[in-house]
């Protein structure tokens, strides 16, 4: 099964409203879509979400890089996952979001070729996946209103974006807790917005408000202070922007810098690296969460397959489509009771896009 043709699509999805975190704001999801065709007539689909302020990539860089990757893959075996993905790494370091789209498409193809749903191809079975829902940065009053609406929809956990001033962040969490009562867990995410002193101050103040963990309290490169925060925080700490690949996972595990790892396919380079991250995490006794950038339900489906296949992935933050103004995806994982993800049993990851929709997208075709 040789790779004969690769299509790269400019995959833009408008948001219902701007999304603000500590390091920036986006108004639409400017993603890329990769479709890899083979000599057997099968194709695989992958999506990358280049959240530029985190990964250092944009849609433009991904399209340019993707064209080079596509030329490199033509004529190769589509089922040689290790060899093909290693070739991309040898050709160009990093560029993880672009690589993740190719990785996802190749895993989709491999599972289709094996006539297996992706979770089974990865060696797992279905188990319940219930996502949280995110509240983005705003006034304490507005965030509290959002929290009430999320509780009324039946969420099992709320994720709260923080990372501006310490005092204002404390007020945000306090307002949310007072509005929703004591029982619903809160997961906070500072997106690198604090320094060591602010992080410890906030986390000690909010610890009694049923805060399950805090993601990335300090800068991604500041591993020493990340470890210090963990040592002095009553709230467990989760690595996000400090964790891209398995190499980062090993470094964080050696430093005992965090309690949890946040795996995101668009950040890790795809499923192949994510499996390595999880293996290191298991060996180190570090549970994982599966997270997202601003992917459509296509990439969310692939993320959910991975989560279902690995018991060490225990927390789920797969709510990006909630912010999208429309859902162009056919098949794939579906949301039930708003938060419970149900995986398909079709071969591959099971998500696709209508040809009519794709015809309206700008694309680049690479073929022999």
Q: Catalogue the active-site residues.
A: 161, 264
CA distance 14 to 26: 10
Q: What CA dihedral angle connects 365, 58, 296 and 244, to 10 degrees?
A: 110
The reply, when asked if residue 256 is annotated as ligand binding, is: no
Instruction: Report strand pairing: 3-21 vs 363-367.
Output: antiparallel
CA distance 57 to 64: 11
Q: Quick one: how far is CA 207 from the chain centroid? A: 26
The reply, when asked if residue 240 is annotated as ligand binding, is: yes
The reply, when asked if residue 317 is annotated as ligand binding, is: no
Q: Are 340 and 333 in contact (CB under 8 A)?
A: no
CB-based contacts of 150, cutoff 8 Å, min separation 6: 133, 135, 158
**How many other β-carbons are positioned within 10 Å of the β-carbon of residue 168?**
14
Cα distances from 207 to residues 25, 147, 170, 212, in angstroms, run: 28, 18, 10, 9
CA distance 172 to 156: 19
Cα distances from 107 to residues 23, 35, 58, 225, in angstroms, run: 32, 12, 23, 37
Q: Are 337 and 150 in contact (CB under 8 A)?
A: no
Polymer length in residues for the chain:
368
CA count, 13 A, side-chain hemisphere, 269: 22
Task: Write out the binding residues for Mg(2+).
Answer: 189, 215, 240
């Amino acid at each position: 099964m040789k790779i004969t043709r690769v299509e790269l699509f400019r995959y833009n999805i408008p948001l219902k409203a701007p999304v603000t975190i500590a390091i920036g704001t986006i108004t639409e999801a400017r993603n890329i879509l990769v479709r890899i065709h083979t000599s057997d007539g099968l194709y695989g689909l992958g999506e990358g979400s280049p959240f530029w302020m985190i990964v250092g990539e944009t849609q433009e860089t991904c399209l340019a890089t993707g064209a080079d990757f596509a030329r490199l893959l033509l004529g190769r075996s589509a089922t040689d996952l290790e060899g093909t993905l290693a070739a991309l790494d040898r050709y160009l370091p990093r560029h993880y979001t672009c690589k993740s789209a190719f990785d996802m498409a190749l895993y989709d193809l491999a599972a289709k070729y094996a006539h297996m749903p992706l979770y089974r191809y990865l060696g797992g079975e279905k188990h319940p996946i219930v996502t949280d829902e995110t509240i983005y940065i705003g006034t304490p009053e507005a965030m509290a209103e959002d929290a009430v609406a999320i509780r009324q929809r039946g969420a099992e956990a709320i994720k709260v974006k923080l990372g501006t001033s310490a005092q204002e962040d404390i007020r945000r969490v306090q307002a949310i807790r007072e509005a929703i009562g004591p029982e619903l867990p809160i997961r906070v995410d500072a997106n690198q917005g604090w320094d060591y002193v602010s992080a410890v101050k906030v986390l000690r103040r909010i610890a009694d408000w049923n805060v399950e963990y805090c993601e990335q309290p300090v800068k991604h490169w500041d591993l020493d202070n990340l470890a210090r925060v963990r040592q002095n925080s009553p709230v467990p700490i989760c690595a996000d922007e400090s964790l891209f690949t398995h190499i980062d996972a090993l470094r964080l595990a050696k430093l005992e810098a965090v309690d949890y790892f946040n795996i995101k396919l668009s950040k890790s380079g795809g499923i192949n690296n994510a499996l390595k991250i999880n293996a290191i995490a298991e060996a180190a006794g570090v549970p994982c969460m599966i997270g997202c950038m601003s992917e459509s339900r296509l990439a969310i489906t692939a993320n959910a397959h991975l989560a279902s296949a690995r018991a060490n992935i225990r927390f789920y933050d797969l709510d990006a489509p909630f912010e999208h103004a429309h859902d162009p995806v056919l098949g794939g994982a579906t949301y039930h009771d708003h938060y419970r993800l149900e995986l398909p049993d079709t071969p591959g990851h099971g998500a696709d896009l209508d040809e009519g929709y794709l015809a309206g997208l700008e694309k680049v075709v690479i073929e022999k």
